[in-house]
Amino acid sequence: MNKTVQSSKKLSFLEFKNEVLKDYKIAVLSRECSMIGRREVLTGKAKFGIFGGGKEIPQLAMAKAFKKGDWRSGYYRDQTFMMAIGEYEPKHFFASLYAHADIKADSFSAGRQMNGHFSTHSINEDGSWKNLKEQYNVSADISPTSGQMPRLLGLAEASKKFRNIPDLDKEGILSAKGNEVAWGTIGNASTSEGPFFETINAAGVLKVPMVISIWDDEYGISVHSKYQTTKENISEILKGFQREGKGSGYEIFVVNGWNYTQLVDTYTKASAIARDEHVPVIIHVKELTQPQGHSTSGSHERYKDKERLEWEKEHDCNAKMREWILNFELEDQDGQMLKFVENEDVLKQLEKEVKITVRNAKKEAWDDFVQPMLQERKELVKLLEKAARKSENEIFIDKLKRELESIDEPIRKNILTIGRRSLIYLRDEDFLEKELLQNWLKDYHALQQPKYSSHLYSELDTRATNIAEIEAEYDEEAEDVDARVIIRNNFDALLSTNNKVLIFGEDSGKIGDVNQGLEGLQEKHGEERVYDTGIREVTIIGQGLGMAMRGLRPIAEIQYLDYIFYATQVLTDDLATLRYRTFGKQVAPLIIRTRGHRLEGIWHSGSQMGSLVNLFRGIYILVPRNMTKAAGFYNTLLKSDEPAIVIENLNGYRLKESMPTNLGEFTTPIGVVETVKEGSDITLLSYGSTLKLVEEASKDLSQVGIDAEIIDVQSLLPFDLEQNVLLSVRKTNRLVIIDEDIPGGASAYLLDEIVNKQGAYNYLDSRPTTITAKPHRPAYGTDGDYFSKPSVNDIFEGVYKIMHESDPEKFKSLFS
């Protein structure tokens, strides 16, 4: 497919004409894909479709202004834009509609995402960055409406960093000195979401090169603007953001989505303003339509009245462009009339050609999709036939075989379902053909599974779990200091050795965070590197996510763990899925720094590890017991390419720890537990601040003759990759997990990991137990903590009770 011309030089009329016709052809091609795509869903060849119909023309204009090195963060309507920049062919369109699980067929997600979720590749097979400066960059879409906004902020902010921090891109592949614009797209209704408004405000404050296009078709599925937007007009209500002269704020444009020339003009201006001046721009594109309704799940006749439907027909942007092309006349210097086309036949011919192109692409994509599975079915049918002939259950297996053969276009589910069921009939028999069948099914399953499950975490050598431990080293006269000084000096070392490291968050800049773990670092490393943000957790994460996607190494600070839940959506939907949803082709090694554990109060508990562990698969969850361990985690993470949340102990900053000499270098391994006290009677597993209480309780326990082994989890996700807890349980035969999360929270996760996955149930002599906080949020104050979270008494008694049950004579009941 031809790419749109990106030149701003003056065009001759012939060039202009060619460009207009080429653009029109892309619009027609895109529409034809939408029409045929819908039919593919309605006839059952694809499950669901969401298309770009009715939004074609403004996207052509956006594509013209979009330069190599630029980034897009948008949503499912941007089909035409993707085609116009040359990143989306009709064949690919159909492959992703069919969910073709092959990255070569669907380069966006290898069939993992629904259609209309676009992306480009940022990293090479070996994990190194591609030359992002020389390619079009499309950050991988997600479905939650307005979820693209926080990431957009970070993508735009990266340009600012590349412009303002010297030598940031030594390799010369990440940025052309910050000249890149981050282009956002969002539907009118999605602007009702919080992340949209938070992003708009933050980008205005940060003054980043961001252009947001709002595709306004007056609806969000069936719900009209009057229920979505005050005054039914998003640009009207955003007027307060408009800059005055050279003051801060936005440039805001309003343009009709069917007006090709005005759109091209607007996008050219917007690009220059954002690119040259680093001023954010909003383009409100009105009067768009949705000729096929929202998606294949319904029809818009249900909620649009006749008048609206009629209006949409008249204002269909493709029809309007066609009309403009047909009616266009320009008198040249010689008095001759210049036209785009002699007559309508030229356009009819173009439209006919497009129809053929799309029809052929569809057929090719379908063949490519079904051929491998037809072959796979053939293999299984053969094996079933052979096994049936030998089996006493021949008729049943034969029936299954015929069932499989009767499916016109079998998918992998059909193949495996039938194959696996056949083994039920063969369970009591023993012959070679059965073995061959079993092996084929096992191999087939193992071969197919990664197509749907790989790349949740890095599979590269640079993965975080591959970074070896380097122990902290100490001088003989190593000083004991407030632990926050260790973390600060370690950040200082990291900032000094890697200028891609940026640390930001609420109060992180001027005062060096609320616990002074960054004290003096802004002064030393400058405001571009260590800085304050507004109170807006969603977009703090968005800043980090977007910048990490552009090759920077942001450390985003969330002031207290409990406030991370504001950012749950961007973390779970976007950051945690990024590598997975792009089949490993985009990464964001964002480090999130926060503090928790043993905080007091309903909104300052710092304890909710189970929720993080459950929602954030794809992000490592690290719970260092002290600041040296925490510093080691930051050092490990910066050597790797994966995102993580590090939860420091809020009550640990003023405790004394020895100052290591190899700051910035020592590492804490990820996925490795540490035995902090050896013992023989019972294994106690804990983490974070609670570990200290366990250590205290263990002193009382040893007084009464119970020798506990204490293990620090350190890393909740991933947990104990070497299975060292199992070794401990094999020795002690008893297990207690202690944490301050709710019952059934992280302790239940750990229990499952150890008892079921590691197989500790084989070695247990007592019921494995958890000692946790109460199910409610912790009450405030010291007594609130005592009655809400596990105390040293609770831990002692919980452990003692297990020992009492195992030997009531030796360990008499404490409470009769």
Instruction: Render 516-555 in DSSP notation, one character per residue.
Output: -TTTTHHHHH-TTTEEE--S-HHHHHHHHHHHHHTT-EEE
**Whether the Cβ atoms of residue 776 and residue 788 lie closer than 8 Å to each other:** yes
Say if residue 416 is exposed, middle or buried (CB neighbours under 10 Å; 0-12, 13-18, 19+). Answer: middle
User: What token pair was written down for 654?
Assistant: 């003023």
What is the end-to-end Cα distance of the chain in Å, rounded? Answer: 83
Interaction partner, residue 144 (Mg ion, ligand TPP, none; CB < 5-8 Å by kind): ligand TPP
Interaction partner, residue 592 (Mg ion, ligand TPP, none; CB < 5-8 Å by kind): none
187 binds Mg ion (CB under 5 A): yes
- Considering only residues 356 to 395 of the shown chain, the ones binding ligand TPP according to CB under 6 A are none
Name the residue nearer to ligand TPP (CB basis): 143 or 268: 143
804 assigned to active site: no
Say if residue 354 is exposed, middle or buried (CB neighbours under 10 Å; 0-12, 13-18, 19+). Answer: buried
Shortest spacing between CB 189 and Mg ion, in angstroms: 5
- Order the strands of the 281-286 sheet from edge to edge: 137-138, 71-73, 182-187, 210-215, 281-286, 251-256
Q: Which residue has the tokens 């009941």?
A: 813
Measuring CA to CA, which residue among 576, 546, 737 is closest to residue 642? 576
Which of 117, 455, 604, 776 is catalytic? The answer is: 604
Residue range at the interface with ligand TPP (CB under 6 A); choices 218-226, 329-337, 686-694, 749-757 = 218-226
User: How many chain residues touch ligand TPP (CB under 6 A)?
Assistant: 14
Interaction partner, residue 73 (Mg ion, ligand TPP, none; CB < 5-8 Å by kind): none
**Whether the Cβ atoms of residue 365 and residue 404 lie closer than 8 Å to each other:** no
Interaction partner, residue 294 (ligand TPP, Mg ion, none; CB < 5-8 Å by kind): ligand TPP
* Number of Cβ within a 10 Å radius of residue 516: 16
Shortest spacing between CB 265 and ligand TPP, in angstroms: 23
Name the residue nearer to Mg ion (CB basis): 2 or 222: 222
With CB atoms as reference, the residue minimizing the distance to ligand TPP is 187
Shortest spacing between CB 468 and Mg ion, in angstroms: 51
Shortest spacing between CB 441 and Mg ion, in angstroms: 47
Name the residue nearer to Mg ion (CB basis): 189 or 388: 189
219 binds ligand TPP (CB under 6 A): yes
77 binds ligand TPP (CB under 6 A): yes
Identify the sign of the CA torsion 741, 744, 749, 755. Answer: positive
Cα separation, 92 vs 88, whole angstroms: 6
Say if residue 532 is exposed, middle or buried (CB neighbours under 10 Å; 0-12, 13-18, 19+). Answer: middle
Interaction partner, residue 143 (Mg ion, ligand TPP, none; CB < 5-8 Å by kind): ligand TPP
The contact mask relative to ligand TPP for 153-192 (x = CB under 6 A, - = no) is: ----------------------------------xxxx--
Measuring CA to CA, which residue among 292, 236, 223 is closest to residue 77? 292
Q: Which residues contact 411 (CB under 8 A, 6 or more apart)?
A: 373
- Going by their DSSP bridges, the two strands 219-220 and 210-215 should be labelled as unpaired
Shortest spacing between CB 574 and ligand TPP, in angstroms: 12
Interaction partner, residue 422 (Mg ion, ligand TPP, none; CB < 5-8 Å by kind): none
Measuring CA to CA, which residue among 107, 127, 189, 119 is closest to residue 155? 119
Cα separation, 4 vs 16, whole angstroms: 12
Shortest spacing between CB 228 and ligand TPP, in angstroms: 8
Question: Where does 112-259 have alpha helices with state H?
Answer: 148-164, 194-206, 234-237
Interaction partner, residue 151 (Mg ion, ligand TPP, none; CB < 5-8 Å by kind): none
Name the residue nearer to ligand TPP (CB basis): 78 or 513: 78
Interaction partner, residue 536 (Mg ion, ligand TPP, none; CB < 5-8 Å by kind): none
Name which position in 217, 376, 709, 720 contacts ligand TPP (CB under 6 A).
217
Name the residue nearer to ligand TPP (CB basis): 50 or 341: 50
628 binds ligand TPP (CB under 6 A): no
Residue range at the interface with ligand TPP (CB under 6 A); choices 138-146, 590-598, 644-652, 785-793 = 138-146
543 binds Mg ion (CB under 5 A): no
- Considering only residues 197 to 216 of the shown chain, the ones binding ligand TPP according to CB under 6 A are 215
- Order the strands of the 530-532 sheet from edge to edge: 530-532, 501-505, 553-558, 591-596, 644-649, 620-622, 715-717
Name which position in 53, 116, 154, 220 contacts ligand TPP (CB under 6 A).
220
145 binds Mg ion (CB under 5 A): no
Name the residue nearer to Mg ion (CB basis): 191 or 667: 191
The helix, strand and coil proportions of the chain, stated in percent and rounded to the nearest 5, come to 45, 10, 40
The contact mask relative to Mg ion for 198-227 (x = CB under 5 A, - = no) is: -------------------x-x--------
Residue range at the interface with Mg ion (CB under 5 A); choices 87-95, 181-189, 498-506, 509-517 = 181-189
Shortest spacing between CB 214 and Mg ion, in angstroms: 9
Interaction partner, residue 11 (ligand TPP, Mg ion, none; CB < 5-8 Å by kind): none
Instruction: Render 91-144 in DSSP notation, one character per residue.
Output: HHHHHHHTT---TTT-TTTTT-SPTT------B-TTSPBP-GGGS-EEPPP-SS
Name which position in 34, 80, 115, 188 contacts Mg ion (CB under 5 A).
188
- Considering only residues 266 to 325 of the shown chain, the ones binding ligand TPP according to CB under 6 A are 294
577 binds ligand TPP (CB under 6 A): no
**Whether the Cβ atoms of residue 36 and residue 45 lie closer than 8 Å to each other:** no
**Whether the Cβ atoms of residue 288 and residue 80 lie closer than 8 Å to each other:** no
Enumerate binding residues for Mg ion (CB under 5 A): 187-189, 217, 219
The residues annotated with a catalytic role in the active site are: 604
Where do contacts with ligand TPP occur on this chain (CB under 6 A)? Answer: 77, 143-145, 187-190, 215, 217, 219-221, 294
